[in-house]
Structure 1
Amino acid sequence: MKVKIKNQIVQLHVLDTAGSEDYARLRLLAYPDTNVVVICFSISDPLSYRSVTQTWLPDINLNCPKAPILLVGTKSDLRNNKEVLEKLKEKHLSTINQQQGLALAKQIKAAGYFECSSMHQEGLDEIFEKAAHTFLQRKKRARSKKHCIIL
């Protein structure tokens, strides 16, 4: 995927490693070359939100501690979905609001917080643009790499 930032083309290599153990080895192989980490959680799933600090952050801090992190709340279209809200209410839970996402981003020292909906194709470009921009900022300091790997 190519992203243009200030007349400069950045080639993004995106590795979606998901949360399953099937991808654990792939993650370990990808970590050393990772330039930017995008941690995603589902806005409609409070357990997913908790996994950011309980699962993903420790893993990233251990394996690629210098890579900047972008935090992304996915499925923003479900935040006010009646069925989702009813199911969560039965469990005394609720969807994650934007303030919670921003607070978590601050807590984990993320370089940015974004929300997106792949269903409605909203917010996706901004995430990749920020990843490319973050890479370019770091590249100015390092002056070595010509492409960006996103985990």
Structure 2
Amino acid sequence: MEGCLALPRARKELRDSTVAYDTVRPLAYQDARVFLLCFRVSDPDSLDNAVNKWYPEIRQHCDNTPVILCGCQSDMRNDIETISSLAKMRRIPVTSEQAVTVSRTVGATTYVETSAKTSGKAVRDAFEVAALAALGKLNKNHAALQRQKAYTHHGGSGGGKSKLDLKAELKDRAKSCCLM
């Protein structure tokens, strides 16, 4: 899957990470400036796969490239059918706290959550965080703010530069950003 997003002057490439591409996928890694490592909040196994399969593969080929752990479909965490289905297997959706802990444990740059269903802004913010990380502009204050957003789902103030200042820097520093 390839797509283009409206972040200023940064090239974005989204790539499918299915098993069918196991032999060619590593060829694209050398061009990556950031990885958005996604899992479904409603599927604890997908977090396990992200940590135990994809993260080691990324690190094997790109030891110092920033990795953003991204919990997708966060709205499903409170979905009755999802909760019921997982309960039958004595499981629950991945909590924000669990994901942040995993993110810190593996050494990911930060953790973000998205839900296209409830907040298109959260999806856009995740790509902005990835772009900032690719440009080396995601500092500890920004990373802490993203973790806080994951906990509260409504943002806060995180110190450092304002979002407008950071967007201006993105415009000034045209670099490529390959999101895998």
TM-score band (shorter)?
A: 0.7 to 0.9
Aligned-residue CA RMSD (Å): 2.0
The separation in 1 between residues aligned to 2:70 and 2:93, in whole angstroms, is 14
Q: Which runs of 5+ in 1 are unaligned?
A: 4-8, 139-144
Match of 2:6 among 2, 11, 14: 2
Measure the CA separation in 1 of the matches of 2:9 and 2:63: 23
2:65 and 2:54 map into 1 onto residues whose CA distance is 13
The structural deviation recorded for 1:122 is 4.7
Alpha-carbon contact 1:42-1:74 (below 8 Å) kept: yes
Q: What corresponds to 1:37 in structure 2?
A: 35
CA–CA distance in structure 2, aligned partners of residues 127 and 10 of structure 1: 17
Shift of 1:110: 1.4
> Structure 2 CA distance, aligned partners of 1:131 and 1:10?
14
Report the structure, 1 or 2, having the larger strand content: 1
Aligned to 1:141: none
- With structure 2 as the length reference, what TM-score do the two structures score? 0.72
Percent identity, please: 28
Query: 1-side partners of 2:48 and 2:68: how far apart?
Result: 16
Deviations 1:37-95 (A, max 9, x none): 11001100010011122101110111111210000000111001000100000001100
- Is 1:149 matched with 2:178? yes
Contact 2:135 2:175 in 1 (8 A): no
Moved over 3 A (4+): none
Counterparts of 1:26 and 1:97 in 2: how far apart (Å)? 33
CA distance in 1: counterparts of 2:176 and 2:127, whole angstroms: 13
Equivalent position of 1:127 in the other structure? 126
| Residue-pair matches, total | 141
For normalisation by structure 1, the TM-score amounts to 0.85
Query: What residue is the counterpart of 1:76 in the other structure?
Result: 74
Report 1:16-95 matches (<5 A): 16-18=15-17, 20-95=18-93
